Amino acid sequence: MAEQLGIVGVGNMGGPMANRLIDAGHRVTVYDIREEVMAPLIARGAERATSSRAVADATDIVFFSLPAPDDVRGEALGSSGVVAGKRAKIFVDLSTTGPRTTAQVVAGLAAKGIATVDAPVSGGVAGAVKGTLAVMASGPRALVTRLEPILGIFGKVFFIGEQPGMGQVMKLANNLLSATAMAVTAEAMVMGVKAGLDPKLMLDVINSGTGRNTATETKFPQQILPRRFAQGFATGLMYKDVRLCLEEAEALQVPMQVGNAVRNLWRLADSVRGSQSDFTEIVRCLEDQVGVEVGSRR
């Protein structure tokens, strides 16, 4: 009999990943605190659970896609969490929580005989929909190998290492670079527009030169110039990821002067635009300060 899979957290990222598992023919049980995000999956045949514990009662492998470390700890180790389930023996965390949270969850679940793979993902909502995410897996090599056919449904699987939390460190490094590209591109673009440059022409030049990055190639032309601001990733989550990265660097005694500046700018965006705003709205913080708009010129 095929293994039953469960997903806790079926929002912007977890929802598309659950859909891909259903498309691949897997039997899936879902749980989220929001009924409205579970409904489309249940309509496709997914089973509805009422708690993380209920997911672990009904499935062999439980995946998490949750926004914050506290959410992961609570839903994994709480009284209604995976640790209290009767069936699941494998836990896979697709969230971004930092290695210290991973260590706590690994220890707590291991005491109940549940093995953990730490497998944060990168590639955004579009990558989750298309199955082109980068999956950064760490944990026992044999277990990662066993899970690779399933993880491969989400995208390209990279084995980061056997030590719990190594995938988290990789993800934090990746997101620091992504956050930096977004923040510094916003500064450069606002400066250029303030000086009278055409923002579309600026992007054309930058993307033909050495300054190109993920922000200039996709986020600015697709979201900021047309004033959509709908990339699908919250400002508060980006700030959280940068903060976790800097905390890990501090714990490792690795100085991050640029990283500290990036954290400050994302803290400002989180405060001014709000945690639930799309993270591309960081440019609006700078626009408001100098009285310009980085938008397409008609």
Would you please indicate which residues are annotated as catalytic (active-site) residues? Answer: 171
Q: Say if CB 138 and CB 165 are below 8 A apart.
A: yes
Q: Which residues contact 296 (CB under 8 A, 6 or more apart)?
A: 199, 200, 225, 226, 227
- Cβ partners under 8 Å of residue 115, min gap 6: 89, 90, 91, 109, 139, 140, 143
- The tokens for 135 are 């999956």
How far apart, in whole angstroms, are the C-alpha atoms of residue 294 and residue 283?
8
Strands of the chain, DSSP E:
5-8, 28-31, 47-48, 61-64, 90-93, 115-118, 121-122, 133-138, 155-161
Query: How far is the CA of 287 from the CAs of 22, 201, 207, 212, 221, in angstroms?
Result: 43, 18, 22, 21, 16
The residue among 74, 70, 75, 106 whose CA lies nearest residue 90 is 106
What is the amino acid identity at position 192?
G
Regarding beta strands 115-118 and 61-64, do their DSSP bridges make them parallel or antiparallel, or are they unpaired?
unpaired
Task: Please report the DSSP string for 41-59 in residue order.
Answer: HHHTTPEE-SSHHHHHHH-
